[in-house]
Amino acid sequence: MADFDRVDEVRAASDVILVGARTVRRDNPRLLVRSDERRERRVAAGRPASPCKATVTASGDLDPRAAFFAQGDAPKLVYCPRGEERRLRRRLGELATVVPLGREVRMPDLLEDLGARGSRRLLVEGGGMTLTQFLAADLVDELLLAVAPFFVGDRRAPRFVGDAAFPWSGDRRAALIETRTIGDVVLLRYALSDRFGERPPLSADQGRELAREAR
């Protein structure tokens, strides 16, 4: 499907892909770049074939056999509160770098840690709880929203965001940058900060640095 290829392109342009732990548990995503051509281009630039993967958990309930850990050579990062660090290290061993971030994980701290590891471009792929925190904290530069032509008639279905005080309102509207039709899906692209479009992808040296530091 054309929209999967569009997602693949966005993944290939990222340094790190982050999903919440519930998405790891429910969807078991691989979070890899699929296109051989894009993978080769990344490797030629001195970067891992697929971006570094990151997740965040408070419960520590992550299965080491999940595709998140089992697939791909890129480094994997697991952010958690300080109290979960030991248990997660025991459970995950060499599969991932466990990064404790204080009594509770706050997304600005997570971003700062990624920045210190040399990451420039983070793709947050969901789910809603994770997206909500990035959006409510005004940390997002660009929002890509794909609208598919069907309805989900179940109030328990996952939502794009949960309850929060978001920075965007009638007085502060997000800037619509682009609309694109991809098959029967419409892609809406919004600029959510003044930093929109500023982040260049990592240079080869920075990519190697991020890969090394995350190990």
Ligand X SMILES: NC(=O)c1ccc[n+]([C@@H]2O[C@H](COP(=O)([O-])OP(=O)(O)OC[C@H]3O[C@@H](n4cnc5c(N)ncnc54)[C@H](OP(=O)(O)O)[C@@H]3O)[C@@H](O)[C@H]2O)c1
Residue 58 found at the interface with ligand X (CB under 6 A): yes
Q: Is 147 in the site for ligand X (CB under 6 A)?
A: no
Cβ closest to ligand X, residue 4 vs residue 93: 4
Q: Does 20 bind ligand X (CB under 6 A)?
A: yes
Select from 15-23, 30-38, 114-122, 177-185 the region that touches ligand X (CB under 6 A).
15-23
119 token code pair = 């990451």
Distance (Å) of CA 210 to CA 45, 66, 69, 161 = 14, 23, 17, 30
State in angstroms the smallest separation of the CB of 177 from ligand X.
20
Binding flag, residue 56, ligand X (CB under 6 A): yes
Q: Say whether residue 22 binds ligand X (CB under 6 A).
A: yes
Residue 92's nearest CA partner among 113, 104, 110, 75 is 75
Is the separation of the CB atoms in 129 and 158 below 8 Å? no
The yes or no reply on residue 35 touching ligand X (CB under 6 A) is no
Q: Is 57 in the site for ligand X (CB under 6 A)?
A: yes
For the bound state, the minimum distance from the C-beta of residue 55 to ligand X, rounded and expressed in Å, comes to: 7
Q: Does 53 participate in binding ligand X (rule CB under 6 A)?
A: no
By CB under 6 A, what part of segment 157-196 binds ligand X? Answer: 158
**91-130: contacts with ligand X (CB under 6 A):** 104-105, 125-130
Which one of 40, 59, 90, 176 is in contact with ligand X (CB under 6 A)? 59
Q: Around Cβ 86, how many Cβ atoms within 10 Å?
A: 12
State yes or no: residue 61 binds ligand X (CB under 6 A).
yes
DSSP 135: H
Q: How far apart are CA 168 and CA 210, in angstroms?
A: 32
Q: Residue 140 class from Cβ within 10 Å (0-12 exposed, 13-18 middle, 19+ buried)?
A: buried
* Shortest distance, position 26 Cβ to ligand X, whole Å: 4
Distance (Å, whole) CA 187 – CA 7: 11
Residue matched to tokens 């030991």:
86
Q: Least distance (Å) from ligand X to the CB of residue 43?
A: 26
> What CA–CA distance (Å, rounded) separates 61 from 79?
12
Does residue 17 contact residue 121 with C-beta atoms inside 8 Å?
Answer: no
* Residue 19 is a binding residue for ligand X (CB under 6 A): yes
- Binding-site ranges for ligand X (CB under 6 A): 19-23, 26-27, 56-59, 61, 104-105, 125-130, 133, 158
